[in-house]
Amino acid sequence: MVTPPDFTLDVLLYGLLVFGLFGFLWFYYDRRDRRLYDAGRRRITFHCIRCDTLYTEKIGTATAPCPKCTHVNTRLKF
């Protein structure tokens, strides 16, 4: 009588491979989304000296025009 092949180790390795792949993808996309969210959330505050308006712009700009009167202002420093 022929004994059936034992696939226990194969199934275990396949399961670990799939689990590792999903873990890697979860880690990668979580880090990527967090970076994108933080980049969009971080903003610099400006105060217009002409019309007394507070407004924000994305990080990385030293000067920005006022959305109300278009006067170019420097960033607000605390």
Please tell me which residue, 19 or 70, carries the higher pLDDT value. 19
Q: Are residue 57 and residue 31 in the same domain, yes or no?
A: no
Q: Are residue 34 and residue 68 in the same domain, yes or no?
A: no
Number of structural domains in the chain: 2
**pLDDT value of position 27:** 97
pLDDT tens sequence across 28-75: 999 999 988 887 778 889 999 999 999 988 888 889 999 999 899 998
Q: Are residue 35 and residue 55 in the same domain, yes or no?
A: no
Q: Are residue 2 and residue 26 in the same domain, yes or no?
A: yes
Query: Is 1 a residue whose pLDDT tops 80?
Result: no
Q: Are residue 52 and residue 29 in the same domain, yes or no?
A: no
| Residue 48 CB burial class (10 angstroms; 0-12, 13-18, ≥19) | buried
**pLDDT value of position 68:** 92
**pLDDT value of position 46:** 92
Q: Are residue 53 and residue 34 in the same domain, yes or no?
A: no
Task: Summarize the chain as % helix, strand, coil (round to 5).
Answer: 45, 20, 35
Residue range(s) defining the domain that contains residue 63:
42-78
Q: Are residue 46 and residue 71 in the same domain, yes or no?
A: yes
